[in-house]
Structure 1
Amino acid sequence: MSVATVLAGVVFGIALAAPPGPMNAIIAEESVVRGWTAGFRAGLGAMLADVLFFVLTLAGVVAVIDRYPLARPVLYLFGGVLMCYFAVGAVREARAANSFTDGGRGASTGFRKTFALSLTNPYQIGFWLTAGVGLLRPGTLDVLAHVPAVGAALEGALVVETGSPALLVGFFGGIALWIVAYPAGLASAGRRVDALAPIVAAGSALVLAGFGVVFLAVGAAGIV
């Protein structure tokens, strides 16, 4: 395996998993309210969905969604409803979790939440219809050659092998690294600052509700 390709895959995987959004909101809520294990499980739910999309992309099934104009608006609507529903649950968590340990009494549902949201997330599906296909297509990508102004001087310095096992190992390794480290950091902070549990749960509710409203609006506009 090319070391450069593996490292590029790791960076790509982290870049996909790290941005703020509904998945990381649920991971944050589970990590601070119930601990690292619950947060890690929530991350596994999102990662499992990516693995499933990867398999479906290999089989050419994901591309079928692009053939039907109403498919994406319906996914937006369904995803929006789920996010709003999970936001209500996060509000309840915020009220019940007076400290880091108080919130850990209930059963963790983070895995089911992130897995369900990922399967109905048009952005995630869109990734596998576009960049995901590029990951699987055999070839090479001269990464630094596209840097403005200095691209010509850096040409050939970092060549990534697309469609190779090395890139895919690095990509999913990057996602795995994120779902291990992110909950660990949050859980550690939660233990040090007891009041963080209800605050993070409330923040999760706001993020989920915000994305839910946006998804519902986009889905309704697509159907109308």
Structure 2
Amino acid sequence: MVGLLGSALAGVVFGLALAAPPGPMNAVIAEESVVRGWNAGFRAGLGAFTADATFFVLAFLGVVAFVEQFPTLQAVMVGVGGLLMLYFAYGAAQEVEGSFRPDGVGGRPDGRSDGGVDDNTGFRKAFVLALTNPYQILFWLTIGVGLLEPGRVDVLAETPYVGSELAGLLVVQTGSPALIAGFFAGILLWASGFPAALVTAERRVESFAPAVAALSALVLGGFGVLFLWDAVTTFV
């Protein structure tokens, strides 16, 4: 029982460590949260979660490992992701002006500031971006596949940006259903907690929503250019 609990907790840490760092997914979640409310932000988080669940099933079936054999296909997916990020960056930039509170008061009673845009928009945006995000693709081609097989994984070493500093701090056994369940629970925890924190901050600071929308546009635009460049250099 202790072993299962430890694996589950390690999985939660792993999921949080993977979901929390800044990137295009969190940019979409942030924009949806401050502009349209917690529900929209959570739905965007569910979009990224669903994409990871899809990758998990594909990894289990061996499809992810099969895709690894075709670098051209991966490059096309990265290029499509880059174009989508630029498109969504343009949409986020348009949200900046509309996200200012009228007369310095709070948002609408229903938690929206957009006149009733479908909350599922964020889900679709995050889901499509996650499916073409090379970082998530690379994760499931390597570490993600390893989660399914008996072995060991250095959980915090896979944290984006700071993994080298955290290597060796949390090493767990892979191939455990408890580890995988904890992993997805950690992602869900971030998908619900991150929007809640943003909405709370937005209610306290009048200029918070426009600032987050602008930052989201910059992050999405920057990653869009980066992904397009990566795709182009693959073909050149």
1:71 matched residue in structure 2: 73
SS of 1:161's partner is strand
SS of 1:67's partner is coil
Alignment length, in residue pairs? Answer: 215
**1:50-129 mapped onto 2 (5 Å cutoff):** 50-99=52-101, 101=107, 103-107=113-117, 108=119, 109-129=121-141
CA RMSD between the two structures: 2.2
Q: Deviations over 1:101-134 (max 9, x none)?
A: 2634241311110000011112111101100111
Q: Following the alignment from structure 2 to structure 1, what is the Cα–Cα distance between the partners of residues 221 and 127?
A: 18
Q: Following the alignment from structure 1 to structure 2, what is the Cα–Cα distance between the partners of residues 7 and 119?
A: 26
Change beyond 3 A, Cα 1:186–1:131: same
Equivalent pair of 1:4/1:159 in contact (CA under 8 Å): no
Structure 2: segments with no counterpart, 5+ residues = 157-163
Q: Tell me the TM-score normalised to structure 1 length.
A: 0.90
1:223 matched residue in structure 2: 235
Q: Deviations over 1:22-79 (max 9, x none)?
A: 0000101111111111100000000000000000000001112111121121112101
Q: Tell me the TM-score normalised to structure 2 length.
A: 0.85
Q: Deviations over 1:190-213 (max 9, x none)?
A: 111122111111110000000000
SS of 1:160's partner is strand
Amino acid at match of 1:51: A
Equivalent pair of 1:5/1:159 in contact (CA under 8 Å): no
**% identical aligned pairs:** 61
> How big is the shift at 1:184?
0.3
Amino acid at match of 1:93: E
Equivalent pair of 1:6/1:166 in contact (CA under 8 Å): yes
Equivalent pair of 2:14/2:155 in contact (CA under 8 Å): no
